[in-house]
């Protein structure tokens, strides 16, 4: 579904992604794990057209997407849930969700998808008229994910959905990621919470200072003592 081939991305002189290659197959949950500053968000921003690679290629459903504008990438079926959620605080929950569908014209289908989002996140239904800025961190994460789903993505990019959340909420969020995947959406999940991410992923890539250092099935990585010591906090 997605093939990233040897991309290099810079911020001015800072070489943030150094020849990164990875792939995501339809139906998978793939996780990208790495420490602060490794380049995880840079990769997602590049996939969604917010940054342009200096070299290398990105193929999505057999077509080149590198260089395309963010809107056309959303239209093609890639939705990005950014780090830090970025919900519109002064708008209600429902207004935020409706914004997620802003490129769509199929009113009936949009209504159906809104109902689906409320099914997936009953908490958002309870709070649909509430201003988003008054939601808890976990609820804002749900809203950000719900908003992305309103674009009807085939591939969902999630940037550290568990960041700053209490353990119980982290569990809830990961469970919902699994449900979204089981309902047919492919997921690329960026996380620092490596153990949780590996527990729901099919495959994983470990990125360090702009380079993919290790990749394999989630089960392989979870089983490796060396990887546990180096990357998974020795757990």
Ligand X SMILES: Nc1ncnc2c1ncn2[C@@H]1O[C@H](COP(=O)(O)OP(=O)(O)OP(=O)(O)O)[C@@H](O)[C@H]1O
Binding site for ligand X (CB under 6 A): 11, 14, 16, 34, 36-42, 83, 192
Site string for Mg ion, 30-49 (x = CB under 5 A): ----------xx--------
Which of ligand X, Mg ion, none does residue 14 bind to, with CB < 5 to 8 Å depending on kind?
ligand X
Size of the site for Mg ion (CB under 5 A): 3
**Interatomic CA distance for residues 179 and 192, integer angstroms:** 21
* Cα(222)–Cα(232) distance, integer angstroms: 9
Give the shortest CB-46-to-Mg ion separation in angstroms. Answer: 12
Quote the least distance from Cβ 161 to ligand X, whole Å: 12
Q: Enter the tokens of residue 16.
A: 């943030």
With contact defined as beta carbons under 8 Å apart, do 8 and 15 qualify?
yes
Taking the C-alpha atoms of residue 235 and residue 222, their distance in angstroms, rounded to an integer, is 10
- Does position 162 bind Mg ion by CB under 5 A? no
Q: Which does 186 bind (CB under 5 to 8 A by kind): Mg ion, ligand X, none?
A: none
What are the structure tokens assigned to 192, written together? 């620092």
Buried b (16+ CB within 10 A) or exposed e, 66-100: bebeeeebbebbbbbbbbebebeeeebbbebbeeb
| By CB under 5 A, residue 208 contacts Mg ion | no
Tell me which of Mg ion, ligand X, none is bound by residue 37, counting a contact when its beta carbon lies within the kind-specific cut-off of 5 to 8 angstroms. ligand X
Write out the binding residues for Mg ion, residues 57-116 only, by CB under 5 A. 83
| Nearest distance from C-beta of residue 16 to ligand X, angstroms | 4
């Amino acid at each position: 579904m997605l093939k990233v081939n040897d991309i290099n991305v810079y911020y001015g002189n800072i070489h943030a992604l150094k020849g990164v290659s990875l792939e995501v197959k339809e139906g998978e949950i793939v996780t990208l794990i790495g420490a602060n500053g490794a380049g995880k968000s840079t990769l997602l921003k590049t996939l969604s057209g917010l940054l342009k690679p200096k070299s290398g290629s990105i193929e999505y459903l057999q077509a080149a997407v590198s260089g395309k504008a963010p809107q056309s990438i959303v239209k093609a079926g890639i939705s990005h849930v950014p780090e830090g959620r970025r919900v519109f605080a002064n708008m209600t929950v429902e207004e935020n969700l409706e914004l997620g569908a802003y490129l769509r014209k199929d009113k009936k289908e949009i209504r159906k998808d809104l109902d689906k989002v409320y099914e997936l996140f009953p908490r958002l239904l309870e709070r649909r008229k509430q201003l988003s800025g008054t939601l808890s961190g976990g609820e804002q994460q749900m809203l950000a994910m719900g908003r992305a789903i309103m674009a009807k993505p085939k591939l969902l990019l999630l940037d550290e959905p568990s960041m700053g959340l209490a353990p119980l909420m982290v569990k809830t969020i990961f469970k919902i990621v699994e449900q979204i995947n089981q309902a047919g959406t492919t997921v690329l999940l960026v996380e620092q919470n490596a153990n949780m991410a590996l527990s729901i992923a099919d495959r994983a890539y470990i990125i360090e200072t702009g380079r993919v250092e290790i990749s394999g099935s989630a089960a392989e990585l979870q089983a490796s003592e060396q990887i546990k010591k180096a990357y998974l906090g020795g757990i």
